[in-house]
Amino acid sequence: MSQVSMEKIVAFCKRRGFVYQSSEIYGGIRSSYDYGPLGVEMKRNIKDEWWRSMVHARDDVVGIDAAIIMHPRVWAASGHLDTFNDMLVESRTSGRRYRADHLIEEATGIDAEGMSAEEMTRIIEEDERVKDPVDGGRDFAPVRPFNLMFETYTGPVKSPENIAYLRPETAQGIFTNFKNVLDTSRVKVPFGIAQIGKSFRNEITPGNFIFRTREFEQMEMEFFVEPGTDEEWHERWIEERWRWYLGLGLKEENLRRYEHPKEKLSHYSKRTVDIEYNFPFAGWSELEGIANRTDYDLRRHAEFSGANLTYFDTAKNESYVPYVVEPAAGPDRIMLALLVDAYHEEEVRGEQRVVLKLHPRVAPTKAAVFPLTRKEPVAKVARELYEDLKGDYRIFYDESGAIGRRYRRQDEAGTPFCITVDFDTLDDRQVTIRDRDSMEQERIPIKAVRDRLKDLISS
């Protein structure tokens, strides 16, 4: 497990322009973060990798991009209005509010997730180990469910009939478009619909930097299958998703699968397996959940909307409501895991270097081009090479400072390759490519750089 601390990662992310605290000039707002120039590139790469593997590289998945504000009945049908709750407990001494299951677990080790409000209230009252972490008080109000959906109003009148919600998962935009996609594209069960977008949850205790925030992104895919084939498809998707994380370069020893116990499954799930990462500051934590959602959502939407959400299987000449297998991941969490996994401090010839050993596919900048000197004609050749490469990838051009310093800056930013144009280049038309991790240098013709880079990035 990587030993980098949370403080170090947060400071590093700010210093190098990966992630900033939101509204920092006003003192910041808890649990909101902004992605800076390097962070936005990296998160984009994660989303692009996901889309490429889930949609472009397959012939059984299509994409959509649904609205964040949906008809409020969607959330009645999906069950979120009734059941998307965390248990909240308020300390009467400090006035602080806590997630009751977390408070109990931290004080007693009892796993309280999924318990009823009454059970939790009883434990808090009877077990003297449960104390307000702020002032040690033991005077708590009864535990009550707290709905995590953000409410808003549509239109100028703030009346109950105008209440709307910011979606707490992107999945429902897929279920409500099931019929549209079926009718307008040539998909046949088994097939999937993928979507990437923002979701919102009014988490009681957000935390661990970008791991748990109130506004975050999801990458979700609903895969519709014939009932009876769902368990097999579920297994296939667990395997598929596991391989995807290894392909991003995460160390296998820091990944594991976690099977949700039956009694703790979400209201829609028959079986859920998470892919977890071993964060140094939080232990094993979920990056993605792969759920067998059965036919719950389509049935509920059919019931609440009156729409026919069955599928007609022409080969079998029969209709059924498909079952759904859902891999649901979070790019913010994946980015944090990749940063933690890749962060290294090393000693090189008596000097400390910080290096982000990111897979080239997710690295924010793919290569940097350096002229050894600012003087012409060396700089001109370097600029030409930079102009030639930059349309395909994010490439960085840097001609200031000693070459060693320039390398260090790119090591920290996770740039896998540095290409240097020197005096010999003028004669032999060759440049050196330096590998970030091994620091080895290879000399190749300028003409071959573009193809070489392509090979190195996709390998």
User: Which residues contact ligand GAP by CB under 6 A?
Assistant: 169, 171, 201, 203, 212-213, 216, 218, 220, 286-289, 326, 328-330, 332-333
The least CB distance from residue 334 to ligand GAP, in Å, is 7
The rounded distance, in Å, linking the Cα atoms of 380 and 395 is 16
Cβ atoms within 10 Å of 395's Cβ, excluding its own: 21
Query: How many whole angstroms separate alpha carbon 447 and alpha carbon 122?
Result: 73
Which 8-state DSSP code applies to residue 303? H
Q: Which residue is nearest to ligand GAP (CB)?
A: 330
Cis check: omega of the bond before 168, within 30 degrees of 0: no
Q: Which two tokens stand for residue 23?
A: 């509204």
Q: Which is nearer to ligand GAP, 201 or 359 (CB)?
A: 201
Supply the minimum distance, in Å, between the C-beta of residue 161 and ligand GAP.
Answer: 27
Which residue type does 449 have?
A: V
- Cα 110 versus chain centre, distance: 29
Which is nearer to ligand GAP, 287 or 395 (by Cβ)? 287
List of E strands, 202-317: 215-225, 255-259, 271-279, 283-294, 311-313
**Which two three-digit tokens encode residue 171?**
């999945």
Closest contact distance (angstroms) between CB of 404 and ligand GAP is: 38
Q: Which is nearer to ligand GAP, 190 or 289 (CB)?
A: 289
HSE-CB for 359 with a 13 A CA cutoff: 19
Q: 5 vs 124, 202, 256, CA distance in Å?
A: 32, 26, 21
Q: How far, CA to CA in Å, does 397 sit from each of 22, 339, 400?
A: 29, 23, 10
Q: How far is the CB of 202 from ligand GAP (least distance, A)?
A: 10
Q: What angle do helix axes 6-15 and 331-342 make, rounded to 10 degrees?
A: 100
> Is residue 307 within 8 Å of 321, Cβ to Cβ?
no
d(Cα 413, Cα 396) in Å, to the nearest integer?
11
How big, in percent rounded to 5, are the helix, strand and coil portions of the chain?
35, 30, 35
CB of 127 to ligand GAP, least distance (A): 28
Minimal distance, residue 159 CB to ligand GAP, in Å: 30
Closer residue to ligand GAP, CB minimum distance, 286 or 295: 286
Q: Which is nearer to ligand GAP, 216 or 417 (CB)?
A: 216
- Which residue lies nearer to ligand GAP by CB, 203 or 226? 203
Under 8 Å between Cβ of 190 and 60: yes
Least distance in angstroms from the C-beta of 78 to ligand GAP: 10
Query: DSSP of 101-136, one letter per residue?
Result: HHHHHHHH----TT--HHHHHHHHHH-TT---TTT-
**Residue 79 Cβ vs ligand GAP, minimum distance, rounded to whole Å:** 12
For residue 107, which of 90, 86, 131 has the smallest C-alpha distance? 131
Closest to ligand GAP by CB, 164 or 325: 325
- Residue nearer to ligand GAP on the CB measure, 10 or 444: 10
Closer residue to ligand GAP, CB minimum distance, 336 or 367: 336
CA–CA dist 133, 177 (Å, integer): 46
Instruction: Provide, rounded to whole angstroms, the least separation between the CB of residue 49 and ligand GAP.
Output: 15
- Give whichever of 254 and 420 is closer to ligand GAP, judged by the CB atom: 254
Q: Least Å distance between CB 387 and ligand GAP?
A: 39
